[in-house]
Amino acid sequence: MKLLKISYFFIALTSTHCYSQQETWDLKKYPLGTKITNINEAKSLVEKIEKRKKQAWIEPNKNELPKGKEGELIRYGIELVTNTSQLIGPKAKKKELRISANNLDCVHCHQVGLSGLPGTKKYSIPWINSKNEFPQLDIKSMTVKSIETIIRGMLGTTPQKMSNNTKEMKAIVAYINWLGKKTQLNMNMENTKLDNRFNLPKRASNPIKGKALYNTLCSSCHGIEGLGLKKADFEQGGGYQFPPVAGDDTYSDGGHMYMIPLLTSFLYTNMPMGATHDNPILKIDDAYDISSYINNNLKRKHDSNRMVLYPFKELRPEGFAIPEHFKNSNQEFEKAKFGPFQSKFWW
């Protein structure tokens, strides 16, 4: 069967963040938390979102941040996504605000763009259009999710620790919605998600070559074992100078970044520091081999729940390489681990 070409993990189910005013299809059928159990229904939802029109990129402008209470909340949101570990990490000064399960900052992945604002870099999973992506069907869990649920997932935390009503959640969501304030509802957007305009090499990735490249190009900041560089006051909540790409304090072996195609794309537009989609530093081939080394050879946190992820095989990205899904074929497992990857269906 021909794989659906989708550009993302999620399928937005509505154009507006107001759940009741939805134009495309009957949302009453899909309250938050709904599990989609029918493959055809899931596919049709994936297709619908893929087919939405694309609007042009909109560059946000810092100078347009509102004044007053609304502006204060948005500014607090900016602080939170920039200094996440310091403010709400496991070692945050205010104990009652120890919400996040790791010491990463959102901006480590959702990087600063030309606007100078976090989460605005093209093809670096920017948040400019996130307002129009939620609620969405997360194909990883086949569940209809709100933006708040996604944010809790990013922090590895629970509704008990960060309900939708906390000031912290409201601030992050207010910032993301402000970024999207000039967007047109119910549309996709150019330059968002990660870059999938190129083809991956038509060969298996080579982690041995990747290791040599990693040690030369990346280890000075991220460390030989990928554990990053802690700031001197790390134990007092200072966070990382350079974030870890392995170990217990970054994505697990069930995470999105654990997929080589996705990580390749992320590295291509973002690393080493200074790379952008217009001026990448790595060659695709090298990003591919480095990703293979990072994900196949460096030790990271284990996600004991990962076997239930991507319940529909047909909607599972090729690079989601967990042995639990390949019990009958070692060859298939090796292919998921190293490639080559056929489709553009990466995440």
In sequence order, the 6+-apart residues with CB closer than 8 A to the CB of 283 are none
Distance CA 280, CA 276 (A): 5
Distance CA 179, CA 127 (A): 7
Query: Least Å distance between CB 331 and ligand HEC?
Result: 28
The β-bridge relationship of strands 188-189 and 54-55 is parallel
Query: Least Å distance between CB 216 and ligand HEC?
Result: 9
- Could you say which DSSP state residue 56 is in? P
Which is closer to ligand HEC, CB of 241 or CB of 329? 241
Query: Least Å distance between CB 333 and ligand HEC?
Result: 23
Task: Provide the terminal-to-terminal Cα distance of the chain, rounded to the nearest Å.
Answer: 19
The amino acid occupying position 92 is A
Query: Least Å distance between CB 327 and ligand HEC?
Result: 26
The amino acid occupying position 226 is G
Q: Encoding tokens for residue 131?
A: 């307002």
Which is closer to ligand HEC, CB of 89 or CB of 336? 89
Query: Least Å distance between CB 284 and ligand HEC?
Result: 12
Q: Which residue's structure tokens are 């400019």?
A: 128
Which is closer to ligand HEC, CB of 220 or CB of 330? 220
Query: Least Å distance between CB 157 and ligand HEC?
Result: 9
In sequence order, the 6+-apart residues with CB closer than 8 A to the CB of 88 are 80, 97, 98, 99, 100, 155, 168
Which is closer to ligand HEC, CB of 260 or CB of 267? 267
Query: Least Å distance between CB 201 and ligand HEC?
Result: 16
Which is closer to ligand HEC, CB of 30 or CB of 113? 113
Distance CA 97, CA 280 (A): 37
Which is closer to ligand HEC, CB of 50 or CB of 332? 50
Which is closer to ligand HEC, CB of 22 or CB of 136? 136
The amino acid occupying position 252 is S
* Site for ligand HEC, rule CB under 6 A: 9-10, 81, 84, 104, 106-112, 125, 127, 130, 133, 147, 150-151, 154-155, 172, 217-218, 220-222, 242-245, 250-251, 256-257, 267, 271-273, 282, 290
In sequence order, the 6+-apart residues with CB closer than 8 A to the CB of 25 are 13, 48
Tell me how crowded residue 203 is: count the other CB atoms within 10 A of its CB. 12
